[in-house]
Amino acid sequence: MERKGGFTEEQEALVVKSWTVMKKNSAELAVKFFLKIFEIAPSAQKLFSFLKDSKVPLEQNPKLKPHAMSVFLMTCESAVQLRKAGKVTVRESTLKKLGATHFKYGVVDEHYEVTKFALLETIKEAVPEMWSPAMKDAWGEAYNQLVDAIKAEMKPSI
């Protein structure tokens, strides 16, 4: 689904510049990002099967970090390549799987909004000296396009 306005060259430059800095701490940032999601919306934990019966504190859950990393890296890499590719670069098979999984667990618009807020806050804290309203808009637009691509595949898996 094409969005009017798209993703500008300026937005691309802001995303690339900040991602270059964040990449070095991506593991730590990914976990921070997920902890923020659960801080804002504790009920979101119920959406993650690996957290359901976990007896350890969130940040010690052995499956949280790899999951957080894959989500954070996919989101950031997709943002960086958005303009060059003219669309979200996540493989179609991955999008279909993500769509089916998000559908199965009952992910709704509010969840995407919470995740977007947590992502923007994580980036803001990671690159405070670069952060600006324009950078917030750039990352927000990249995130929205990724979410639109996932939502387009949100149906039961066949």
Q: Are 101 and 67 in contact (CB under 8 A)?
A: no
Specify the number of domains making up the chain: 1
Q: What is the pLDDT of residues 121-155, one digit of tens each?
A: 999 999 999 999 999 999 999 999 999 999 999 98
Q: What's the CATH code of the domain at 125?
A: 1.10.490.10
pLDDT score for 61: 92
In a domain, 1, yes or no: no
> What is the Cα–Cα distance from 5 to 28, expressed in whole angstroms?
33
What pLDDT does residue 89 have? 85
Q: What is the pTM of this model?
A: 0.91
Task: Please report, rounded to a whole number, the percentage of residues in the chain having pLDDT higher than 70.
Answer: 96
Q: Looking at the domain assignment, is residue 74 inside a domain?
A: yes
Closest CA relative to residue 111, chosen from 76, 53, 150 = 150
